[in-house]
Amino acid sequence: MTIKHIQHLYWRAGFGINPNQLQLLSIKNREQNIDELFRQSNSYNPLFINTSEFDTLTFEEFTKTNKIHRAYIEKSKLKVKELNHAWIDKISNSKEILREKMTLFWANHFVCQDRFILYIQKYNNTLRYHALGNFKDFIKDISKEPSMINYLDLKQNKIGRPNENFARELLELFTLGVGNYSEDDIKEIAKAFTGYNYDFEGDFVFKENQHNNDFKYVFGKSGHYDGDDIIDIILEQKQCARFICTKLYQYFVNTTLNENYIEDMTNIFYPNYNIESVLRYMFTQDWFYYSKNIGNKIKSPIELIAGLSHTIPVTFKETDQIINIQRMLGQMLLYPPNVAGWKGGKSWIDSNTLMIRLKLPSALLSNAKISTKEEGDFYDTYSKYYENRKGDTKIKVSANWDVFKKNFQHVKVEELQGYLLQCSINLGTQDYLNRLSKKSKEAYCVQLMSLPEYQMC
């Protein structure tokens, strides 16, 4: 397996790879390296922050007065931001890189938002737990999560008063895609999910007296179906496997679809819906490593931050700062723009976000000093978030250059380009790099990360 192919695998299935790891994997074949990738991500390590002030909270106390209720909601909002920060750290530092990459993928598939920390933390760990498991079990558990029940109004879906929000998104966004179901299917499926609720602790509760137990007619079948039955019926449609495999191909391979490869993936995924199996198949295929599929993907903001931190570990000291950087880049974890999530691809880049992306490495790694002298600069944009604060606008981070020195100690400064840039560069950029000083490996690393080519993986 070539160095370039290993780098490609670890950028797509994770967030980059350092030279020491690369050297160890270079003596192994493709199957061995893929086995190692899945072995690393086999374990499930949930993400928890300190929520002790909520752990003994009861519904009676939570709703005692409007003032108390609002106070707990405000505390919870701060904890959700803290969970965002903790998730960024986990993505950047976890050994289970594929599980974390897939958790990120599923968070933009089963899109959900909640302001109550205990529920959204539980939801995040459900994504992580099922990330490489069985899709049927996954979606059944997702339908019973308190955050999803809240987000898509399942709590309001009762016999005689159906709410179709969840049924519609289940078909359109989660399983089949637009054009593969009818309005009647939505109405019948909504009936099956009546009675879905949860208790204050976040445990699923099925309220029999709110459930419509009439016959439902879905995809040519009829019965006294509940939600789990409906999910079984939906997944009998091969289109469901095709829909998921198309999204996997777009995310991991190329936004330009190859229907033949996607159909091959679909045949692996259907009918058992084993997520690990279809990923293994995809990573072992020659076409995954074709040159047209390498370095062609624009990094999401989270991939950009995590990849940078993977090379030079960066610790953000203030949660608000990492939140604001995500906001400026256009992707805040736990705060999706809508039920469809982030579009990805070229939507990550515009004139504003590109400037921020190009300046981010120097802002984080070169003493993190913010200057506001040049109008329209990243630093000027960033300072707007702090214009009402005293003192200079400094991003409070610590960069662990010792880890970089250890991992890159055997890499010559002129070789850094091959480790940090995944896509081809044009003659103008190469001429610019040739003129740059290469006396400092650290300074040259920051300069490489500040190139437009570093935005690709």
What pLDDT does residue 370 have? 34
Q: Can you spell out the DSSP letters for 41-101?
A: T-S--------HHHHT--HHHHTS-HHHHHHHHHHHHHHHHHHHHHHHHHHHH-S-HHHHH
| 244 neighbors 139 (Cβ within 8 angstroms) | no
For residue 383, the model assigns a pLDDT of 52
Q: Classify residue 348 as exposed, middle or buried by CB count within 10 Å of its CB (0-12, 13-18, 19+).
A: buried
Place of tokens 């740059």: 436
CB 383 within 8 A of CB 369: no
pLDDT of residue 384: 55
DSSP code at position 394: -
Question: Cβ(411)–Cβ(19) under 8 Å?
Answer: yes
Cβ burial of 457 (10 Å; 0-12, 13-18, 19+) is buried
* pLDDT at site 380: 53
Going by DSSP bridges, is the β-strand pair 216-218/204-206 parallel, antiparallel, or unpaired?
unpaired
Cα–Cα distances in angstroms (integers) from residue 397 to residues 316, 351, 361, 365, 369, in the given order = 4, 26, 12, 8, 10
Query: How do the pLDDT tens digits run along the chain, 457 residues long?
Result: 999 999 999 999 999 999 999 999 999 999 999 999 999 999 999 999 999 999 899 999 999 999 999 999 999 999 999 999 999 999 999 999 999 999 999 999 999 999 999 999 999 999 999 999 999 999 999 999 999 999 999 999 999 999 999 999 999 999 999 999 999 999 999 999 999 999 999 999 999 999 999 999 999 999 999 999 999 999 999 999 999 999 999 999 999 999 999 999 999 999 999 999 999 999 999 999 999 999 999 999 999 999 999 999 999 999 999 999 999 999 999 999 999 999 999 999 998 899 999 999 999 998 644 333 333 455 455 555 455 544 445 788 999 999 999 999 999 999 999 999 999 888 888 888 888 888 899 999 999 999 999 999 9
Secondary structure letter of residue 153 according to DSSP: T
- pTM, 2 dp: 0.94
Give me the amino acid identity at 22.
L
Which residue's entry shows tokens 């070169």? 366
Residue 139 CA to residue 127 CA, distance in Å, equals 10
Confirm if 13 and 37 have CB atoms less than 8 A apart: yes
Distances (CA, A) of 342 to 104, 169, 346: 11, 15, 11
Supply the pLDDT for residue 393.
58
Long-range contact pairs involving 435-444 (C-beta distance under 8 Å, separation at least 24): 438/413, 438/414, 439/413, 440/413, 441/405, 441/408, 441/411, 441/413, 441/416, 442/365, 442/401, 442/404, 444/413, 444/416
- What per-residue confidence (pLDDT) applies to 385? 47
Pairwise CA distance, residues 4 & 12, whole Å = 12
* 282-326 pLDDT, tens digit each: 999 999 999 999 999 999 999 999 999 999 999 999 999 999 999
Strand-pair partners of 161: 158
pLDDT value of position 346: 95
Question: From residue 447, how far is each of 192, 357, 379 by CA, in Å?
Answer: 57, 12, 17
Select from 255, 277, 133 the least CA-distant residue to 264: 277
Residue 197 and residue 210 in contact, taking contact as beta carbons nearer than 8 Å: yes
Contact 445, 420 (CB under 8 A): yes
